[in-house]
Structure 1
């Protein structure tokens, strides 16, 4: 799809002007490269560099662990230097680390290169979010919805290209995918260079709201409310582990549904996100509205988990129907959480320390990626009751988060002005 179709879908121009549109192209290119690498990484280390399964597992785990530091470090630096320069540097780091993988089969060097790429990847993620928030201003929620839609398309394109190349199965094919991922980062860096520097937002506050804002610590590590919010986000981001690990394993090992349904449910997830993420953005256009989304989000999590627990009842058709309902409900939860998380993570941060705060918030995703598979294994081992308990925990976390952020959000005069998005 061309980007102008998303402008039409939004009923008005993409926020941020030329830089906003350029950032969408950056996201498309960047996520296409990510789609190439996601399907290639483990296989490349296995079939091209000759590592054992255990060595690959350790390499990926350690490099990902080192990469976790990328978000908070880059976020803190972003509050002190031009954002576009830092974004360019991180994209070039990713490109260089990717190409460096082709130069050696030495385990220590491969680990170092993979760790550098992981660091750049996590740093780029938080820097892109910060830049988008600054250039889109009061339309940041709608912009994020468009950006997320474009990112999903890019990742799907990269995955399809990787599948075609991996079908060849030669060393050259694997190497071509690694080069493709590095090239995507390099092109993204060139596009970032053309972006204007985004000004740090200035917020005028008065009255009681001024007291609330002034009370926010400038370091997220000293902000108990924000740290608790980030911890709750790590729980809510588990929807990602459900689709990547929990749902397919549950379908295969615990239900009578045909195994071919598993990839179809992932396709359904992607299609729904592309079709509905932009329309749903209108319901989180202000900080208060984003907080209100936590109630239907709790219901969507609970409903999806309940459908998973009931998928063991009946035959193949009943199981398939229950799993499809679960996939739809959990995709709705994923989209609602994306809208709420995008707005609240920024609204809870003081303007002069947005980078540092968003860097800490990004740790929620990293934590989820580490513990998510373990949580899914425990849920599946517990059986249908495990899914019911899982859904209840997520719903309770939504309600607890709503109460946690209630008194920290800016008043009506400071919130993002409500917007109405046309979808005719």
Structure 2
């Protein structure tokens, strides 16, 4: 005859709502449910952090499972084990009694086992005349059967998170390798770009990475490195594309030389501007042959370093700072708000800002910057204008100036022979 099944612990131990929930789940599990106990234990071990279990608590659970004679735990079988503290301590590698009791409480609080305490707190089993167990007092393993699917899902979630963490670390390693090697090849080949600034930015980003970084921090660092990687890659690809643009880069130099009108104002569309805004069929074909990708910020800053003087702190690090500096340069060049607004509408804010930066760089050679910007805007509207030749021409002029000065004074602009050939005027 079976007596009342206890739901509360012996002595001063309190019963918690979580324990009541575990008991309810165990009571309502299907009678035909069955699990392999060591498979369940493996899932619990993998998901121990999510469950709140400790390593020593799992050592005790392993010992408790060893006291159950069957490998398979079933919903209609006897799932209570009743080892003494001495036997349980021996199978838990000699764990002290105080530590044993503390981690047994952890298993109960995690809902992995249920206490089935006798009236006097002793653990034992009462058997019938046929040797079958009528009543057992000890630790009930039924939560392992009732929550087996939950433990499996938690273990799979942990494995998925570990895989995602491993992928994030691999991504970080690959991006770091790419950045370092691309910067090295850029310096070795003399590609015009602010490589020193890029190296500083790279070190600043890596400084945010602690020795043992969680996945969220690694992902955040990867996002910043991805932007730097994109800038470096675009710079190198733009350099290789520029080698195929012989003759295109000289257009801006000729265009500026003809942009010194003395009699027309910014608001006038006289014959001089119309002549400037015109172009041959060959020039239109050249524009269509130019690279379709945007100019990298590093190349623009190398070609137009004067705009950085107007930026906050005297340095430009992002396109938004570049646009802000262009806004400051506009009134200094005498360009009206209407001409600037029209240029942005036709070219787009970024391309208009690059155009203005190039005009600012050659402002000593342009008498009417506003009229000149309007003529370029009109050419852009007709699909006959690109900022690529402007920037390449400015870079070529800087190289020529350095060569004439005997490479003396200031920061040396190092370029490879390939870029020198691509920037050289046709027929020179």
Q: Which structure is higher in strand share?
A: 2
Structure 1 or 2, whichever has the larger Rg, is 2
Q: Which structure is higher in helix share?
A: 1
TM-score (norm 1): 0.24
TM-score (norm 2): 0.24
